[in-house]
Amino acid sequence: MTKFLNCKIDISLKVLEPRLETEYWTKKAIAMIRKIPRPAKVLDIFSGSGCIGIAVLKNTQSFLDFADISKDSLKQIKKNVKLNNIVNQRFTIIQSNIFSKIKSKYDFILANPPYVALDRIGEVDPQVLKKDPHLALFAGKDGMLIIEKFLKDVKKHLNHNGILFLEFDPLQKEKIKEILEKKKMEYVFQKDQFKKTRFVIAQNVFKGKSNN
Ligand SMILES: C[S@@+](CC[C@H](N)C(=O)[O-])C[C@H]1O[C@@H](n2cnc3c(N)ncnc32)[C@H](O)[C@@H]1O
């Protein structure tokens, strides 16, 4: 059992142990979600233990979908929503390969995908390699495999002016910037509490016609 913001998170079913960096930007996402004057529709994709989505549900009036490819993750989320007394009407849990089973559009998409480069496996703490599932960590040679597939379709699932929070490795900033430029999304890169560029907030700006 661990804590994530003001939530209890069980991680006994082989899911990623939530990181402090993720907690840092989730707090910022919650502050933004709370500002909109109606319950927001939110997607926690690559949800693992469900820590991000559970913190959002607990601290906002939103409705939220969890999505992950792993069965263990889906079971873990079920346990964790109960543990935090979240009522069933406010969320759904979807098994999906990135967006393959996602039909909706959202006001906010919150994403902590696997992004560790296989090239850098030697730099990963052996304890992490032993404890955390490799499906949750690695994404091809440069760690961009899942992020690239995800960004390719993300606009289709954002409402006009909808907002994306995406966590990544600081070394991936330039590649992500290039993709967001091509997608004509507005964005701002942000540092984590350890002064590393760790996440981007991007918006599907409404320019008067569909721009997916
Ligand atoms: C870095 S973990 C994030 C877990 C949690 N959101 C957190 O922040 O602690 C990435 C998650 O992505 C999931 N995942 C990996 N490949 C996926 C794919 N193709 N489609 C959907 N989820 C995937 C893994 O099962 C894992 O739970």
Tens place of pLDDT per residue across the chain (212 aa): 999 999 999 999 989 999 999 999 999 999 999 999 999 999 999 999 999 999 999 999 999 999 999 999 999 999 999 999 999 999 999 999 999 999 999 999 999 999 999 988 989 888 888 888 889 898 989 999 999 999 999 999 999 999 999 999 999 999 999 999 999 999 999 999 999 999 999 999 976 554 45
CA–CA distance, 28 with 9 (Å, rounded to integer): 19
pTM: 0.96
Across 129-166, b (16+ Cβ under 10 Å) vs e yields eeebbebbbbbbebbbbbbeebbeebbebbbeebbbbb
Query: Kind and range of the H or E element at 129?
Result: helix 126-131
- Pocket test of ligand 1: the residue of 4, 10, 46, 146 to mutate, having most ligand atoms within 8 Å of its CB, is 46
- The pLDDT score that the predictor gives to residue 209 is 53
Residue 132 is which amino acid? D
- The pLDDT score that the predictor gives to residue 211 is 45
Is the Cβ atom of 112 under 6 angstroms away from ligand 1?
yes
Q: Quick check: 28 and 55 in contact, CB under 8 A?
A: no
Considering Cα of 120, then 96, then 25, then 147, what sign does the dihedral take?
positive
- The pLDDT score that the predictor gives to residue 208 is 58
What is the atom index within ligand 1 of the atom nearest the CA of 70? 25
Q: Phi/psi zone of residue 22: left (φ > 0), alpha (ψ -120 to 50 degrees), beta?
A: alpha
Is the Cβ atom of 69 under 6 angstroms away from ligand 1?
yes
CA–CA distance, 175 with 23 (Å, rounded to integer): 24
- The pLDDT score that the predictor gives to residue 120 is 87
Is the Cβ atom of 53 under 6 angstroms away from ligand 1?
no
Is the Cβ atom of 51 under 6 angstroms away from ligand 1?
yes
- Count of C-beta atoms within a 10 Å radius of residue 183: 16
2-189 topology per CATH = Rossmann fold (3.40.50)
Delimit the domains of the chain by residue range. 2-189
- The pLDDT score that the predictor gives to residue 131 is 87
Q: Which of the 8 DSSP states describes residue 60?
A: S
- The pLDDT score that the predictor gives to residue 196 is 97
For ligand 1, atom 26, the nearest C-alpha belongs to 136
In three-state secondary structure terms, 61 is coil
94 CA distance to ligand 1 centroid (A)? Answer: 13
